[in-house]
Chain A
Amino acid sequence: MLLKGIFLYFAAVILLSAVLMITRRNPVHSVVYMLLLFFHIAGVFVLLNAEFLAAVQLIVYAGAILILYLFVVMLLNVDKEKLGSRAHRFWPWMAGFGILIAGEVVLLLLRGSFPVNPELSVQQTGAGAEALGIALYTRYLIPFEIASVILLVGLVGAVMLAKKTIKE
């Protein structure tokens, strides 16, 4: 009961901050709501005994990616006067699509028969980081190394674009 309450709290705040994030006129405010969102997602990870992921959620998403967003948003310096409503002219379509998907999810939950693989359960070993380390360096090695190449390409791209801009 308590657990359900905690989860519902996290879920509610996640949804609310997500909605606020996309509706705020000031992009810097959007970033703040996104930060709130990340915190509560980390909370959900904690509920699932994925403490390492919770920490990563904060370190990488909140601490690095969102900082980059914040820099970009602040660097862009959107004029407050020019900032019209954030609503795109297609917003009724998008809202309709969103409601459609949401309805489908609700329908799905009402049917009740959501097959879940029994192997998926909360690990109680507490060795999250260690288990992750072993998996990452044996079974998931190739995706891991590919990830490093992707990071490398990202770095090359970022430097290339930034240098191009500086030169101009």
Chain B
Amino acid sequence: MTVMDQVANIAYSLIIPVAVLFGFIMLNAAYLSYMERKVLAHMQARMGPMMTGWHGILQPIADGVKLFFKEDIIPAKADKWLFSLAPVLLLIMSIAAFVAIPFGPPTDFYGILSNKVPLWLTNLNVGILYVLALASVGTYGVIMAGWASNNKYSLLGGFRSAAQMISYEIPMAFAIITVVLLAGSLNLAEIVNAQSEKWFIIVLPVGPVAFLLYLISGVAETNRAPFDLPEAETELVAGFFTEYTGMRFAMFFMAEYANMVVISLLVSILFLGGWMPVQILPNTWLGGMPPVSWINGLFRLMPPVLWLLGKVYFLLFFFIWLRATLPRLRYDQLMAFSWKFLLPLSLATLLTTAVMKQMGLL
């Protein structure tokens, strides 16, 4: 192999995928804000952004440009070093989580490429743990931002937010362990492949419970409504990012949207069969019969990666829907909900799964 070949090889196997994935993250981070504003607006019988471009389609770009030109204010009493570090840390963690996520099985893009390439950057054996680890480190960004601002609202917001995030990490972990128990692997691609016959969400009776547990904890982890206590503007102004302006403020936003995407991806991968297409009835049962098998075959025509993204965007829509619908919880209710309800429930789910697996029922 010549040097040029090696360079080309690296380009194909690394640079292009990295560029594509990075682009995907950025596009999502930008356009989710648009999606959120539009969906919320329509749910409240408004139009949302309409001025910039067709139906306001250029709004995120305008927002981004605006934020670039905003003054960067660091309060005099703030801990400047930590104040600058916090948003950067949070953003790095939420971006880096995407590396380990598989978007689909190896494909040659309908013959365009000479050999099959995987639709993931790296397939870690401990993929799910890697994502969890980065998420748990993300807590630092929140709490450090709150502390460094030297503002009472920020500090309380940061503390609340961090306590909330760690409280919901426990049921989340147990829900994930339930999935790992079903799949027998920590590898995300293998977890998806284990669902080729049956998505984990329909593995009765534990699947739906674990799914809901994960979904709820996921929403709480991203500090979204109805768990957006840290940002409860009526009592805490803007929570831990009260003092942030301009690009630093933008970073918190991007990190939040990136986190939402990661959570949606994980929900899809762990419970909704990842890139597996919908089956009206499983092949092993009536699904093999003609009218059903035609529809199943039709579904299979759509590329796997689109199935995954479809599920992801549905979940993202769902998150926005939640925000439009549900009122905010009180903080003591929020903590009690995790510690007194979700935690025992998740443990019970896990144990039930183990028992049923032991008895050969799963």
Contact = CB atoms under 8 A, between A and B. Distances in A.
A26 B79 contact: yes
Contacts of A59: 129, 132-133, 136
Interface string B138-152: 011001100100000
Contacts of B129: 52, 55-56, 59
Contact of A55 (B85, B126, B159): B126
B79 A28 contact: yes
A162 B219 CA distance: 30
Contacts of A29: 81-82
B22 interface: no
Contacts, number: 67
A52 B81 CA distance: 32
A contact patch SS: helix
A74 interface: yes
Interface string B76-96: 000101100100000000000
Given A26-B79, A28-B79, A70-B140, A128 B125 contact: yes
A28 B82 CA distance: 9
Interface in A56-114: 56, 58-59, 62-64, 66-67, 70-71, 74
A35 B126 contact: no
Contacts of A67: 139-140, 143, 162, 166
A56 B129 CA distance: 8
A126 B125 CA distance: 7
Interface string A117-141: 0000000001111000000000000
B124 interface: yes
A73 to B, nearest CB: 9
Nearest to B136: A63
Given A29-B82, A63-B137, A52 B126 contact: yes
B134 to A, nearest CB: 8
Contacts of A26: 79
B130 interface: yes
A75 to B, nearest CB: 9
A38 to B, nearest CB: 9
- A26, A32, A126 pick with most chain B CB within 10 angstroms: A32
A74 B149 CA distance: 13
A63 B133 contact: yes
Contacts of A128: 125-126
A39 to B, nearest CB: 8
Interface string A15-44: 000000000001011001001000000100
Contacts of A56: 129
B343 to A, nearest CB: 13
A64 B136 contact: yes
Contacts of B130: 55
B319 to A, nearest CB: 23
B186 interface: yes
B82 A58 contact: no
B125 A129 contact: yes
Given A67-B139, A128-B126, A62 B85 contact: no
Contacts of B162: 67, 71
Contacts of B147: 28, 74
Contact of B125 (A51, A63, A64, A74): A51
A145 to B, nearest CB: 17
Interface in B133-182: 133-134, 136-137, 139-140, 143-144, 147, 159, 162, 166, 169
A59 to B, nearest CB: 5
Contact of B133 (A62, A126, A127): A62
B81 A62 contact: no
Interface of A: 26, 28-29, 32, 35, 42, 51-52, 54-56, 58-59, 62-64, 66-67, 70-71, 74, 126-129
The 7 A-B residue pairs whose C-beta atoms are closest, nearest first, are: A63-B136, A55-B129, A58-B133, A51-B126, A55-B126, A59-B133, A55-B133
18 contacts: A28-B144, A32-B85, A32-B144, A35-B140, A51-B124, A52-B125, A52-B126, A52-B129, A55-B130, A58-B134, A58-B136, A59-B129, A63-B133, A63-B136, A63-B137, A63-B169, A127-B125, A129-B125
